[in-house]
Amino acid sequence: MTDALHATPLADQAEYAQAVRVAVDAAAAYYGAGDSALDDDAYDRLVRGIEAYETAHPEHVLPGSPTGKVAGGAVTGDVPHTVPMLSLDNVFSAEDLAGWAAGLERRLGRPVEMWSVEPKLDGLAVSARYHGGRLVQLVTRGDGVAGEDVSHAIGTVEGLPEALPEPVTVEIRGEVLMTAAQFEEACAKRTAHDGTTFANPRSAAAGTLRAKDRPYRCEMTFFGYGALPLPPDDDGDLAGRLRELPHSRIMDLVADLGVQTTGATPVGVIAVATVEQVQARVEEIAAVRAELPFGIDGIVVKADLAADQEQAGFSSRAPRWAIAYKLPAVEKVTKLVGVEWNVGRTGVIAPRAVLEPVRLDGSVVTYATLHNPADITRRGLMLGDHVTVYKAGDVIPRVEAPVVHLRTGAERMITFPDACPRCGGDIDTTQQRWRCARGRACHAVASVSYAVGRDQLDIEGLGETRIVQLVDAGLIADFADLFTLTREQILGLDRMGETSTDNLLAAIERAKAKPLNKVFCALGVRGTGRSMSRRIARHFGSMDAIRAADAEALQAVDGIGPEKAAAVVEELAELAPLIDRLVAAGVTMTEPGATAPGATGAGGATETDAGQPAVDLPLTGMAVVVTGAMTGPLEALSRTEMNELIERAGGKASSSVSARTSLLVAGEKAGSKRSKAESLGVRIATPEEFAATVHDFI
Ligand code: IVH
């Protein structure tokens, strides 16, 4: 593809002036609140159209034109950058990339010896200034010449330590973003606070980085992609190395100082020798994009060697030695054709947008989250609106905002239900999230199906059809009722013979012996999935201890902040009658191997701050990743079971390899995680070796 195919052609001077206005507004919205109504593709096309027109009609160029300016000229700040923070030029295809590389090599008069390839992170550029090993200032990119001081965010950005192990003076440049998990957490906090939500992880990070007095705190993540000497008292020795080392080695040096770099992302920074290898690496990264725990909007290709970079130099806008290979936008405009109201297993009535299908990040999106009724009103959404929709990586597709200037007048109001769409009963509208007044009982089939699922009570023979029969017959209203079912009651159901009845009763009996973490997970308390339920069960040891915990005590569990803690306390109070019936039925209410907080006595473990027993378990303090097919004693274990095993043995299970990974268990057909671990020097074990280490816990 060539640039011309991407550009929006402009017919005359009036269209050119209009295009400049739209682009300037969009850039201001994007770099300001982070909520541009134009998606990236449309913006790029527009700017290229403007450039083409300006080349043909240099006499018409408007002073406000966004071309040739960093950030479209949208932002200014008051902290001057030591060296301008530039932008990157873009390519969109293998052909474009080869053309750019050939151009660079022509300029240098020799082949580029080494290229480095890394993800283009979709966040905000910041400069982190370290003096004598202490992080003293954080500055946004702003207009590239001067940025905004956001030092108040120091301490809330993972990967950007406040102190380095050595008293060095250096400026680290990189991207601040929210991972999918941090974004979900931030949205939950904001919703609990004022019922609104963030449009996408990028604008959440932009807003959070600037916010000075929010009553809640959201975490962000930093990945560095460059380092510079920091005048006036720059570190002579380090400055010399930064001027001489290849980019990929500088990333290692920065990582050694304890600052997270693009090298610590699951795709890392890889140095290769030829443009064909660069293209192959680009394709590998693009293929795993949807699985990354954060959004990327492209891949950055850099001439790796300092000498090549120095000779290539810079244009007014971007370095000539680097290029962004853009990937398709993860934010697009489509049409909102309907709104469905679904009742979840906790009785929450959630609106869901029905969209004209649109391709985003490797999949076709037809439905997207619409949060809650108040949020629909606040954003002024209407049926038939063009809306921006975002989906990247793990993030659930979401409607961001209506594109108001595309309205035709044919749009209609969205009607809100006045009765529960499932049971026709009353709706509790006192909270931002609407809920059926019958709560969990409204959608008993969904909550029971969840409770008996494989990762919770694992009751075989209890599929959805059976549960519907039991609910319709009035035999169960929740999963606690399962434990008091009689043989006659089950036999009385349609198509239920003696053998299947006995099998089902035996499976229900077996479920009583499940450890507390499974029973707790079965309750379906919001925000407590499998892994969180394991942490809670291990931390408290018994259901009594969990029920006795107040919000403060719950926050001692890793990953529970004030909002989640309060929600858990509230939901547990609501579930009290159900839990009482589980206790009465003889369901297990303790976690094997866990010691309740504060408990002492024979062999009693003391608790660390993170709520982990401070005993010497084989994986204590270790972050473990599993990849490939398991063999030997671990052959039959699912990924969930492997993760449970890791946590039982004191470790933390994680899904991606980074510099912080302590061990990779690599089975047969292990792919990119294995090569990533090898390049980072992470220890690798076979399933058999790992099984030997944790054999007491299998
Ligand atoms: S290198 C002189 N590497 O993309 C500019 N930039 O569109 C060198 N970005 O302003 C930038 N990931 O904020 C570089 N791995 C990466 C990046 C990256 C994201 C951002 C950066 C830059 C913008 C340009």
3-state SS, 479-498, equals HHHHHHCCHHHHHCCCCCCH
174 alpha carbon – ligand 1 mean position (Å): 7
- Taking the model in full, what pTM does it have? 0.69
CB 569 within 8 A of CB 584: no
pLDDT of residue 57: 84
Q: Where in the chain is the domain with CATH 3.30.470.30?
A: 90-326
User: From the CB of residue 4, how many other CB atoms can be counted at a distance below 10 Å?
Assistant: 10
In the three-class reduction of DSSP (H, G, I as helix; E, B as strand; rest coil), residue 611 is classed as coil
pLDDT at residue number 33: 53
Encoded tokens for 312: 């290539």
Ligand 1 mean position, distance from CA 88 (Å): 6
Fold of 90-326: D-amino Acid Aminotransferase; Chain A, domain 1 (3.30.470)
Does ligand 1 come within 6 angstroms of the Cβ of 449? no
Cβ(390)–Cβ(331) under 8 Å? yes
Residue nearest to atom 3 of ligand 1 (CA): 225
Contact indicator for 474, 425 with CB cutoff of 8 Å? no
Q: How many residues are recorded in the chain?
A: 698
Test site for ligand 1: of 44, 70, 88, 250, most ligand atoms within 8 A of the Cβ? 88
Q: Which CATH number fits domain 516-604: 3.40.50.720, 1.10.287.810, 1.10.150.20, 1.10.1040.10?
A: 1.10.150.20
Q: Where in the chain is the domain with CATH 1.10.287?
A: 3-75
Specify whether domain 331-428 bears CATH 2.40.50.140. yes
> What is the predicted pLDDT for the residue at 12?
85
For CATH 2.40.50.140, list the domain ranges present in the chain. 331-428
331-387 pLDDT, tens digit per residue, is 999 999 999 999 998 999 999 999 999 999 888 999 999 989 988 998 899 999 999
Domain spanning 438-511: CATH superfamily: 5' to 3' exonuclease, C-terminal subdomain (1.10.150.20)
- What is the three-class DSSP state of 562? helix
Q: How far apart are alpha carbons 383 and 307 in whole angstroms?
A: 57
User: Does ligand 1 come within 6 angstroms of the Cβ of 24?
Assistant: no
Alpha carbons 611 and 609: distance in angstroms, whole number? 5
Handedness of CA 181, 330, 150, 268 (dihedral sign): positive
Q: What share of the chain is helix, strand, coil (3-state, %, to 5)?
A: 40, 20, 40
Find the helix or strand (DSSP H, E) in which 473 lies: none
319 CB near ligand 1 (under 6 Å) = yes
Q: Using 70 as the pLDDT threshold, list the residues of the chain that sit under it.
A: 1-8, 29-38, 40, 68-77, 233-234, 595-616
Find, among 304, 296, 291, 346, the residue nearest to 325 by Cα.
296
Q: Does domain 3-75 have CATH number 1.10.287?
A: yes
> How high is the pLDDT of residue 373?
92
Q: Are 682 and 622 in contact (CB under 8 A)?
A: no
Angle at 588 between CA 587 and CA 592, to 5 degrees: 170
Do residues 546 and 481 make contact, with C-beta atoms less than 8 angstroms apart? no
How far apart are the CA of 299 and the centre of ligand 1, in A? 9
Catalytic residue positions? Answer: 120
Q: Is 118 in the pocket of ligand 1 (CB under 6 A)?
A: yes
Indicate the SS3 state at residue 306. helix
* Residue owning tokens 């600052």: 259
Q: What pairing do the DSSP bridges indicate for beta strands 331-343 and 386-390?
A: antiparallel
- Cα R_g (the chain), whole angstroms: 28
Angstrom CA distances, 250 to 141, 205, 262, 658, stand at 21, 26, 11, 17
Which atom of ligand 1 approaches the CA of 262 most closely?
15
**Token code pair at residue 546:** 């969990």
Q: Whose CA is nearest to atom 21 of ligand 1?
A: 125
Cα 296 to averaged position of ligand 1 atoms, centre (Å): 11
- Name the CATH topology of 623-697: Rossmann fold (3.40.50)
Q: Ligand 1, residue 120: give the atom nearest the CA.
A: 12
| Cβ atoms of 673 and 664 closer than 8 Å | yes
Q: Is the CB–ligand 1 distance for residue 87 below 6 Å?
A: yes
Q: Are strands 663-666 and 623-627 parallel, antiparallel or unpaired?
A: parallel
Give the CB-side neighbour count of residue 646, counting CA atoms within 13 A: 25
> What are 206-264's pLDDT values in tens digits?
999 999 888 888 999 999 999 999 887 667 788 889 999 999 999 999 999 999 999 99
> For residue 638, what pLDDT is reported?
85
- Residue 579 tokens read as 């839990």
Numbered ranges of CATH 1.10.150.20 in the chain? 438-511, 516-604
